Amino acid sequence: MTELKNDRFLRALLRQPVDMTPVWMMRQAGRYLPEYRATRGQAGDFMALCTNPELACEVTLQPLQRYPLDAAILFSDILTIPDAMGLGLYFEAGEGPRFRKTVATAADIDALPLVDPERDLTYVVDAVARIRRELNGSVPLIGFSGSPWTLATYMVEGGSSKDFRRTKQLAYNQPELMHQLLDKLAQSVTAYLNAQIRAGAQAVQIFDTWGGALSHAAFAEFSLRYMTRIVAGLIREHESRRVPVIVFTKGGGQWLPRLADSGADCLGLDWTTDIGAARGLVGERVALQGNMDPAILYAAPARIRAEVAAILAAYGRGSGHIFNLGHGITPEVDPAHAGAFIEAVHELSPAYHRPPA
Amino acid sequence: MTELKNDRFLRALLRQPVDMTPVWMMRQAGRYLPEYRATRGQAGDFMALCTNPELACEVTLQPLQRYPLDAAILFSDILTIPDAMGLGLYFEAGEGPRFRKTVATAADIDALPLVDPERDLTYVVDAVARIRRELNGSVPLIGFSGSPWTLATYMVEGGSSKDFRRTKQLAYNQPELMHQLLDKLAQSVTAYLNAQIRAGAQAVQIFDTWGGALSHAAFAEFSLRYMTRIVAGLIREHESRRVPVIVFTKGGGQWLPRLADSGADCLGLDWTTDIGAARGLVGERVALQGNMDPAILYAAPARIRAEVAAILAAYGRGSGHIFNLGHGITPEVDPAHAGAFIEAVHELSPAYHRPPA
């Protein structure tokens, strides 16, 4: 194995000393980059890009060629698992993800196969291996999956939803069916993330994008429980290194102590949370990732820099912070503004990691 | 003045003893009721209904004829103020609210007039007076307004938004302009709520629907500051009674201590917050309103009852709780389920208000 040249990201995830705060951006390989749009145009559509390991590798590496990011993240979609279960994922222009088949009844859920990633999602496993090889030890590679609850919402609704009416109806009226669905998803996600780790992912993130739509009690029952089960089933050491796990529940800022019980090494924070208060609550147990409002990237570079400074100051001295946005970078952002953001983190953060004079 | 026969709601807002937990529902006069749809059909469209005091009064009273609710809330829209400022509010089928004119520049903001509600929103003031008269002391009447930040998002975006890109761009790049806009809105909202109080509203609620889209720091600067200013400017005693103020920031569960500093008598909670934990944090200073997930109303009555029981138990013994949903009731709900909800609150809550044996 090639030696890792920049392990700042992995060290911060384990709250080990670093020289500066590592930084990456959710959706950093994305539509805000003209080179991404060019490759996507060449691929045809989004799914063609996801399922082509060579092109997926190419777009994964694009932001790293532009910016001194401290991690790469596999380019893929969170909905590959339901697609591999046979639901037929597709994207309509301006519409977001859709499924040709949805899940509504006991028979539908019974009929869903468990996913064997090496057989059913070869294109992802191949992409991970290829990206890892091409990175050549420059920075670590992050693998990822959607959380069972998040995947379930798309499978039941057939796409995005404003209020998750059908999903919640199933959860509240037939909880045993919902648990059967979530159990299949948790088994499949565990296998999927382990396959990514075996193929070369050096950290993994679970995206619980819609966990925050649940009530305080329902979150524990329908989302957290299954993420905890997944974390317990993951390969936690590979290539003689700890494989850190990040759990990110968007809108989960009120649930950090429970999320820290999940066994994750790091919790992702959206921008509604005060990262200093979060560190006070759970900073002895987990690292924290986040948490700048992606909309700040629409502002002028000086304003971006001021926001970075404020978040660094709120987290305070020492390791355990991975700088990121509180959600994915949006297509309308000027790439120069993303550059100003990353530069600000690297320029302003060393002061927080130097030993006191 | 007619004596108030049921003052449970007003007493709970002031944390005074009650016989049972009062209950009302946000958007209780709404599309889930066939009688509402009939009146709306008769009016023509939504704005025609809002601007006709007689019909607005009729739909306000409809849910009270069906259910033993403990409060009525003025039927109106949160966007009447920007409409009165000249932006031209309209609704397109299935689209949500839109404005013919938007606000983008210093000149746009300069040109916005302050609203004089008695002159510019006579239809609202007249509706309040009429509803109050027709209620004839049965239950108290709630007046309301959108928060300045929430109104500003619609004025800048021209309608609903997913990420509030333009509004945040204005706030982050030209904060002095945004503050000028918010200041005009805060003055207008204060005058508007005071006019409602003079016309007969016995409590008022500020709907900060989009405050939760802001970061921890930006919320204080762009939303909370102006709500605090409004609360300080309200008529707090009328007809020899305290006029309680409810502040509801959807998605504001992490900010309750700061919200309690606003001077409000009561904070609204969405369903992501554990109401027991919230009471522990701020229950000595404010009453709490909420917080059942409206999606529970899609479930069977027995499930609805179990959820009511869990929320009552989480809040615990004593006054200071107004039962409500964590957001407005949705059009697809079966009216019988809303009835089961209200019945459950009244049947299960007296045990929490009896003196210990």
pLDDT in tens, chain B (357 residues): 679 999 999 999 999 999 999 999 999 999 999 999 999 999 988 999 999 999 999 999 999 999 999 999 999 999 999 999 999 999 887 778 999 999 999 999 999 999 999 999 999 999 999 999 999 999 999 999 999 999 999 999 999 988 999 999 999 999 999 999 999 999 999 999 999 999 999 999 999 999 999 999 999 999 999 999 999 999 999 999 999 999 999 999 999 999 999 999 999 999 999 999 999 999 999 999 999 999 999 999 999 999 999 999 999 999 999 999 999 999 999 999 999 999 999 999 999 999 876
CB contact under 8 A, A274 and B293: no
Could you tell me how many CB contacts below 8 A there are between chain A and chain B? 94
Nearest to A62 by CA among A91, A98, A28, A101: A28
CB contact under 8 A, A165 and B293: no
Written as one letter, the residue type at B222 is: F
Contact B114/B218 with Cβ under 8 angstroms? no
How buried is residue A276: exposed, middle or buried, by Cβ count under 10 Å (0-12/13-18/19+)?
Answer: middle
At B216 the pLDDT is: 95
- Residue B306 contacts A where some CB pair is shorter than 8 Å: no
Backbone angles phi, psi at B314, to 5 degrees: -65, -40
* Contacts by residues A329-333 (CB-CB < 8 Å, ≥ 24 positions apart): A329/A25, A329/A26, A329/A27, A329/A28, A329/A30, A329/A32, A329/A294, A329/A297, A330/A32, A330/A294, A330/A295, A330/A297, A330/B163, A330/B165, A331/A30, A331/A31, A331/A32, A332/A32, A332/A298, A332/B165, A333/A32, A333/A294, A333/A297, A333/A298
Contact A290/A321 with Cβ under 8 angstroms? no
CB contact under 8 A, A330 and B168: no
- Active-site entry in B7, B70, B77, B208: B77
Pairwise CA distance, residues A206 & B309, whole Å: 33
Known catalytic residue at B31: yes
Contact A141/A135 with Cβ under 8 angstroms? yes
- Residue B162 contacts A where some CB pair is shorter than 8 Å: no
Residues of A in contact with B210 (CB under 8 A): none
Residues of A in contact with B254 (CB under 8 A): 253-254, 272-274
CB contact under 8 A, A295 and B172: yes
Nearest to B216 among A163, A273, A295 (CB): A273
Q: Is the pLDDT of residue A157 over 70?
A: yes
The mean pLDDT of A315-334, rounded to a whole number, is: 97
CB contact under 8 A, A274 and B254: yes
Q: Is the pLDDT of residue A164 over 90?
A: yes
At B92 the pLDDT is: 82
Known catalytic residue at B154: yes
- Residue B274 contacts A where some CB pair is shorter than 8 Å: yes
Instruction: Return the C-alpha torsion angle A292, A296, A300, A305, nearest 10.
Output: -10
The mean pLDDT of A297-320, rounded to a whole number, is: 97
Residues 52-81 of A with CB under 8 A from B: none
- Residue A164 contacts B where some CB pair is shorter than 8 Å: yes
At B1 the pLDDT is: 62
Pairwise CA distance, residues B88 & A161, whole Å: 29
Backbone angles phi, psi at A89, to 5 degrees: -75, 135
Residues of B in contact with A272 (CB under 8 A): 212, 214-216, 219, 251, 254
CB contact under 8 A, B165 and A299: no
Pairwise CA distance, residues A121 & A304, whole Å: 39
Residues 167-196 of B with CB under 8 A from A: 168-169, 172-173
SS3 A81: helix
Written as one letter, the residue type at A348 is: L
- Would you state the structure tokens that stand for residue B198, as one six-digit string? 């003079």
This complex has an ipTM of 0.94
Pairwise CA distance, residues B285 & A297, whole Å: 38
How buried is residue A86: exposed, middle or buried, by Cβ count under 10 Å (0-12/13-18/19+)?
Answer: middle
Alpha-helix residue ranges (DSSP H) falling in chain B: 8-13, 34-43, 46-50, 53-66, 80-82, 106-111, 117-120, 122-135, 148-157, 165-173, 175-199, 216-219, 225-233, 256-260, 275-282, 301-315, 335-348
Instruction: For residue range A190-216, list pLDDT tens digits in order.
Output: 999 999 999 999 999 999 999 999 999
CA A214 vs CA A152, A201, A219, B269, B313: distances in Å: 13, 30, 5, 14, 19
Q: What is the pTM of this model?
A: 0.96
